[in-house]
Amino acid sequence: MRDSTGPTTGTIETVTHPPVRKALGQHFLHRHNVIDAIIHHFNPQDDDVVVEIGPGRGALTESIAPRVATLHAVEFDRRLAERLAARARDLPTLVVHRTDALCFDYCAVGGHIRVIGNLPYNISTPLLFRLLDHSQCIQDMTLMLQKEVAERVLAEPGSKAYGRLSVMVQQRCHGNFVLRVAPDAFTPPPKVDSAVVKLVPDPVPRIPVNDPKRFFELVKKAFSQRRKTLHNALKGLVSEEELEQCSIAPNARAEQISVARFAQLSNRMTSK
């Protein structure tokens, strides 16, 4: 367990688990058929360096750790991290980090890592942005999300689900839907369906952006008031002429604009 005393390694044994902490948005996966399906799609390899976000009670950890070179398990809940570390005595591939996944330095553990995890519902969006910030070090991400969030991640322009998260993820990654997961696969069951998605960062961005910070701010402002036309939503930032130069109608709304058009507009602003 990584804390003030550094990492711990070892093998997993059966223990009595501490109770769920609702404040942390904990829902622990327990259905073996779902666990097997996720592992099958993830397809761990013996030379993989894997980061698992929110290992919880170790449902995925137990299957992945024996099959990979190194498994870095990032767990915020001290009780769960300590128990996972206590169960890890004979498996040298497992390293438990007791830390916040929102602060974890993913690039520090490798330059071509694979990420898997059941993302806590209450921090899934900022955690996705954190992973995007480290996408240059990530080979792929297999993530359990609230179904609504998964739909937003993969949404196409023109749909109600398409928004800031869609644009930011799709500018850096291509993704696909893997599996829908019902509430009864978890303890305790959430009130919503979940879904597993796979995101693969592009080594060379298909949609290049000259200034990522400016791109982020542009997209954020465009979607901040979805009912407004882009001309009004971006007033003071982008002129009507600049919109038209990027083949964007001034009376269009943000959800109608493709990722490529947003990138083109951002790059034009950067070149001014």
Same domain, 222 and 173: no
Mean pLDDT of 175-181: 97
Same domain, 240 and 196: no
Cα–Cα distance between 134 and 259 in angstroms, integer? Answer: 20
Confidence of residue 272 (pLDDT cuts 50, 70, 90): low
Q: What is the CATH number of the domain that holds 230?
A: 1.10.8.100
Same domain, 53 and 29: yes
**Domain that includes residue 174, residue range:** 22-201
Q: Is the pLDDT of residue 6 over 60?
A: no
State both tokens at 265: 């507009």
pLDDT of residue 17: 52
Q: Among residues 210, 150, 209, which one has the least CA distance to residue 177? A: 150
Same domain, 59 and 180: yes
Same domain, 221 and 147: no
- State how many domains the chain has: 2
Q: What is the CATH number of the domain that holds 186?
A: 3.40.50.150
- Say what the pTM is: 0.88
In one letter, which amino acid is 121? Y
Q: Tell me: the pLDDT tens digits for 152-164? A: 999 999 999 999 9
Measured CA distances, 120 to 12, 136, 165, 256 (Å):
23, 23, 17, 30
Q: Is the pLDDT of residue 54 over 90?
A: yes
Same domain, 126 and 250: no
pLDDT of residue 40: 97
- Which residues, in sequence order, are bridge partners of residue 98? 75
Average pLDDT, the chain: 89
Q: Tell me: the pLDDT tens digits for 194-242? A: 999 999 999 888 899 999 999 999 999 999 988 899 999 999 899 999 9
Q: Tell me: the pLDDT tens digits for 73-115? A: 999 999 899 888 877 776 789 999 999 999 999 999 999 999 9
